[in-house]
Structure 1
Amino acid sequence: MSTGHAATIAAQAGIAKDTAFSAVIPPLYLSTTYKLGAFQQPEQYDYSRSNNPTRDLLATTLADLEGGSKAIVTSSGMAACLLALQLLTPDDTLVIPHDCYGGSYRLFTNLAAKKHAFKLLIINFQQAGWQAHVSAVQPKMIWLETPSNPLLQITDIRAVCTLAKTLDALVVVDNTFLSPILQQPLALGADLVVHSTTKYINGHSDVIGGVLICKAPELGDELKWWANCLGITGAPFDCYLTLRGLRTLPLRIALQQDNAARVVDFLLQQPLVAKVYYPGLPDHPGHSVAANQQTGFGAMCSFDLACDVSQLPVFFSALRIFTLAQSLGGIESLICHPGSMTQASMNAQAQTEAGIGPALLRLSLGIENIDDLLADLQQALAALALAVGDTRYAG
């Protein structure tokens, strides 16, 4: 486990370590199989589903960045979630937040209802009394997502981990929205950290991947066994590209976060914006907790438009830089309508309970020039104002 600075860990992973030809950049190992040293004498590598040098380098780097003992790189973020669930039995209870990512919500609820893989309790960690509800079910695992997707609600990781310790429960934290640069849940008491590496870690919207990072070595060994057994480990070429993207993570996050803060300031001044969701705002309910457990407020923000859902196409079609698309964390700026996109797997009641309104939009800020981003939002809001006859809009 490395104790260096994040930027150095990311930039120096595998550099000048090649023993074959002294290549500065680590090579890509595409081989699916490896020669045995002799009969019944396998070497470190025998078959790439089990172990691969390129995947192992990415895993070691991500474990170092999160302060974990072992990382298992998977074929997608959802595969990483599925891997963590292998620790549960039908008699165990999993606690999840009521406002987690729609894909995770779909996985948890359907495995519980259709496969009876575990018992499930859905909790609002922002409401008073959550501790009593969690304690009552004696869970085996508590799943956190903070900031949450898409309303960026903040959960106190330390408080949950303190309770979990008394219950002998594991705590898993989805750290996708912040990356290890802005939040390190293992240092706050969590047992496992999950990422969709598709997002900030790769950062270029060209690779699907995931990772599960463990605090305890023995837990890592068990989960690595399951990853090989299930066949959900990441492909070598995908790992190579992800490692390449990872090297610039600290630089990208810094610029994206600066852009997000500027966009939030802009949105707060717009008559057609009913509400802005961003933990960096002093009046955000989770601001003080976020300031305590994070080293930055991130590059994601959401907002409610003061219009009918039928008028949203006017706003979307006017945008020239922001792209209407799924995902987040890439170098390009994206806009998303959670109700019909990322959270579409949640029914209307679940969306309402999670606070997801029909005109809620989510922004993932990229690395473009901030003046261009603000101008794009401004002209789209002007187009919407014209369509709805809102004379308050001052541009």
Structure 2
Amino acid sequence: MRIESRLAQIGSVRDSVTGAVSYPIYQATAFRHPGLGQSTGFDYARTKSPTRMVLEEAAAELESGDAGFACSSGMAALQTVFALFRQGDHLLVSLDLYGGTYRLIEQVMSRFGLTASYVDTNDIAALEAEWRPGSTKAVLIETPTNPLMMITDLAKVSEWAKSRGLLVIVDNTLMTPYFQRPIELGADIVVHSATKYLGGHNDVLAGLIVTKGKELSERMAFLHNSIGAVLGPQDSWLLMRGMKTLALRMERHQENALRVAEYLLGHPLVEEVYHPGLPQHPGHDIHRKQSSGNTGIFSFRVKDARLVEPVLRHVKLIAFAESLGGVESLMTYPAVQTHADIPEEIRRAVGVDDRLLRLSVGIEHSEDLIEDLGQALERAAREIGA
């Protein structure tokens, strides 16, 4: 069955009691035992909940994995994954990284002895140079990265990682399984901030983990239950409802984002546009090889840092807000928002400077978005005398 049909049918044939097309919300934390030593399969909601179970099974199936785990947020999902490691372990991590992930590694997990090296994960020589035999345990990859949209060849890096005995963890938030399935390319673990495209409506906070392999899945199930940062039944239901329309939304997101990116590419006040769907993007060919489409998010750099504040103030249809992946278009200033916890010297070295803006393109009409950006840039230019 094609992915569009599988998405639309999430949970629709699972309620054998009533035949409900929409799987119900089981708002329960405890479940009766038929007798001593007997169970219905559900005992306590932290361990297993009917509504969450249907979501988790759908996530695993969509990502071509063996088990899924729904968490209370994307950061909760990452922390649960990091619990696989112990004091003295070392990770190789994408250089251009979401600021929240950097904060979790450097300000939280480092206290427990987990360390990381930040490298261009598409450069095997760079990975090899930072690999520490005996202590390096995994490679954590964002592709595309957030916010500069750098691309990693997942099949190539997975092959190298396997030769070194390393796990491959991929944050697939920006692409979703509709456009990219890392496990099919060699990854062991996929994580999502499901708050973003999977939920798709800026109304539910959630994270997902999908694992490949029986032993790894059993270890993750133990950690998921023990840490307890699980997703509640109402949020599980909201997430499933959002995922049913993922195919339609992602098609519109990618169509709109490419049109807006092409417009900005030709704008006199814009210096660079970072979108892997553009032929001039350095990762364009790899991206096309390993995915079936483009995300709806990209970044662009204006020519003058003085333009940033008035542009953010003058956009009308586009909201100046953090987050991404919803039906509404949002613009973010990474240097002081999503990547504020990354030290300035590291931020600037990667390219997250004071002229970079990130745009999550929604499902509005693309011409309305282009007109909004045009008027905001024009008014900003007048204000600074550009």
Q: Is TM-score (shorter-chain normalized) higher than 0.5?
A: yes
Aligned residue number for residue 291 of structure 2: 294
Aligned residue number for residue 123 of structure 1: 119
- After superposition, what is the alpha-carbon deviation per residue over 1:275-333, rounded to whole angstroms, capped at 9, x for unaligned? 11011111111111101111112111110111124x42211111111101111000000
Aligned residue number for residue 380 of structure 1: 376
Could you tell me which runs of 5 or more consecutive residues in structure 1 were left unpaired when the two chains were aligned.
391-395
Secondary structure at the aligned position of 1:245 is classed as helix
Aligned residue number for residue 217 of structure 1: 214
8 Å CA contact retained: 2:119, 2:127: no
Across the aligned residues of Structure 1 and Structure 2, the Cα RMSD in angstroms comes to: 1.3
Could you tell me which runs of 5 or more consecutive residues in structure 2 were left unpaired when the two chains were aligned.
none
Number of matched pairs: 385
C-alpha distance 269-277 of structure 1, shift in aligned 2 (>3 A): same
Secondary structure at the aligned position of 1:140 is classed as strand
Once the two structures are TM-superposed, the CA of residue 71 in structure 1 deviates from its matched residue by 0.5
C-alpha distance 297-111 of structure 1, shift in aligned 2 (>3 A): same
8 Å CA contact retained: 1:93, 1:137: no
Equivalent-residue separation in structure 1 for 2:85 and 2:354 (angstroms): 35
Amino acid in structure 1 at the alignment position of 2:41 = Q
8 Å CA contact retained: 1:277, 1:302: yes
Secondary structure at the aligned position of 1:129 is classed as helix
Of 6, 19, 23, the residue aligned with 2:20 is: 23
Equivalent-residue separation in structure 2 for 1:134 and 1:5 (angstroms): 40
Of 54, 73, 76, the residue aligned with 1:76 is: 73
Q: TM-score, normalised by structure 1?
A: 0.95
Of 333, 338, 343, the residue aligned with 1:342 is: 338
Aligned residue number for residue 102 of structure 1: 99
Greater Cα offset, 49-58 or 299-308: 299-308
Greater Cα offset, 175-184 or 352-361: 352-361
Percentage identity across paired residues of the two chains: 37
Greater Cα offset, 198-207 or 291-300: 291-300
Equivalent-residue separation in structure 2 for 1:128 and 1:185 (angstroms): 18
Amino acid in structure 2 at the alignment position of 1:13 = I
Aligned residue number for residue 150 of structure 1: 147
Q: TM-score, normalised by structure 2?
A: 0.97
- After superposition, what is the alpha-carbon deviation per residue over 1:142-175, rounded to whole angstroms, capped at 9, x for unaligned? 1000000000000111111011111111000000
Amino acid in structure 2 at the alignment position of 1:384 = A
Equivalent-residue separation in structure 2 for 1:91 and 1:336 (angstroms): 36
Aligned residue number for residue 179 of structure 2: 182
Equivalent-residue separation in structure 2 for 1:74 and 1:349 (angstroms): 33
Greater Cα offset, 223-232 or 11-20: 11-20
Once the two structures are TM-superposed, the CA of residue 119 in structure 1 deviates from its matched residue by 2.9
Once the two structures are TM-superposed, the CA of residue 98 in structure 1 deviates from its matched residue by 1.6
Equivalent-residue separation in structure 2 for 1:113 and 1:54 (angstroms): 35
Once the two structures are TM-superposed, the CA of residue 336 in structure 1 deviates from its matched residue by 0.3
Secondary structure at the aligned position of 1:366 is classed as coil
Of 281, 284, 290, the residue aligned with 2:281 is: 284
Once the two structures are TM-superposed, the CA of residue 222 in structure 1 deviates from its matched residue by 1.2
Secondary structure at the aligned position of 1:349 is classed as helix
Once the two structures are TM-superposed, the CA of residue 39 in structure 1 deviates from its matched residue by 2.0
8 Å CA contact retained: 2:316, 2:372: yes
Alignment of 1:42-57 (within 5 A): 42-57=39-54
